[in-house]
Amino acid sequence: MSLLLANFPPLTGRYSVGCHDIEWQNEQPSCPKAAPEEYCKSILMRLYYPASIKKGDHKANWITHADYAKALCDIAKLPAFLSNWLSGLASIKKTRFYKDAQVLEQDFPVIIFSHGLGGNRLIYSSICSDLASHGFIVAAIEHRDGSASLAKGVDDEWIRYDNVPPEVWGFRHHQLRHRVSETELCLTALDQIAAKGKESGPNFKGKLNMKCVVMAGHSFGGATTMLMLNEKNCRFQCGLLFDPWAQPLMMMTDVDIHIQRPVIAILSEQFSFWPDNYESVQELIDNSVYSNKSVCVSLNGTEHQHQSDVLLVLRYWTIFDFRSPFKIDPARAIDLNTEAAVTFINNILSNPITGKFTLSSNNPKTRKRTRNAPNFDPIMNHKKSKLAL
């Protein structure tokens, strides 16, 4: 099967990683900040965390249900026979992290991750687990606003992808408000889990450092991240913007976007060639409160899906697709995204509002893989920005 769906690469951090799925019920009878249609009854998330692996622990499957893979195939408009075949393979594909492994006895900074249009809590497992291997607990939300390729609903019903054209701004703004409500519930859930633990599964009591929380997201999740960081008293220390889709925010007429925390925007080379979005990202970051502590870079040779699992798992299928000019090794792309994100977070958490930071390849595993990479400069600073590496 490894010849059909490629294996996940080794994690680059020093920690082994576990994962645990949580369905957290909203204990409040009402949600005064949200309109009734945006009220969240519960939140579904997957936690990736540094773990102690013991005999009998098993590596987690990549996809928890074949219908998740079928939904992705439907978005890609694959024929039914191919969709059924790939979905079966995906549902038994093993990852590099372990299901319900024991959490290490230490408190770790927390990252909340918001997926993009057509994503879900599972298909960013490479970057989320790689971040966790560097000493973070990552909570990947499965949004129930219709933006997921497929989402498990409150009563176990499937919530399908909405198929609304991306530029229907009123609908996207409704989804963003719903996503904000879900993220706020995620914070509440993590607070309670950190303080009291859970009745079943791994014991997270005292393991989540809720004073060091980072917001992250890919594409539409990047827009979600910027909106979460728009609150003056937001709890997040900084933000990670993976190929952020900024235009929905620029189209908002009832909200002024002034990002209140330092951010790093990690753009694929493909997204850098989208002038309207690129200029919107630059404008939002340059006008942010901590623009002097924020960074915008692009990764040469990468495309939009290099920040998810899709091209990583399908790299043996896409190697002969000569239409795409973005030919970086998908494993190398995940390494670069992780290294940039971890370097940025650690510098912000250790030096909250002062000084500059630099990106450097100080991870021996990353350096080793770099020697086998194509001959190109992996990180390009955006010269048009007034931000500095």
Residue 260 lies in a domain: yes
Residue 386, pLDDT above cutoff 50:
no
Quickly state the pLDDT bin for 315 (edges 50, 70, 90): confident
Residue 261 lies in a domain: yes
Tokens 């079966």, residue located: 88
Give dist(CA 114, CA 107) in Å, integer.
22
- Report in angstroms the alpha-carbon separations of 65 from 62, 114, 122, 151, 200: 9, 20, 10, 11, 22
Instruction: State whether the Cα torsion 202-208-210-214 is positive or negative.
Output: negative
Quickly state the pLDDT bin for 39 (edges 50, 70, 90): low
Averaged pLDDT for residues 343-352: 88
How many distinct structural domains can be found in the chain? 1
Lowest-confidence range among 27-41, 128-142, 272-286, 294-308? 27-41
Residue 64: the pLDDT is 94
Tell me the residue range of the domain where 131 lies: 16-62+93-381
Residue 362: the pLDDT is 44
Residue 80 lies in a domain: no
245: domain CATH number is 3.40.50.1820
Residue 380, pLDDT above cutoff 90:
no
Residue 183 lies in a domain: yes
Q: Supply the mean pLDDT for the chain.
A: 87
Q: Per residue in 77-107, pLDDT tens?
A: 888 888 898 899 999 999 999 999 999 999 9
Residue 85 lies in a domain: no
Closest CA to 214 of 336, 78, 352: 352
Residue 353 lies in a domain: yes
Residue 122 lies in a domain: yes
Q: Per residue in 123-164, pLDDT tens?
A: 999 999 999 999 999 999 999 999 999 999 888 899 999 999
Give dist(CA 242, CA 219) in Å, integer.
6
Residue 322: the pLDDT is 58
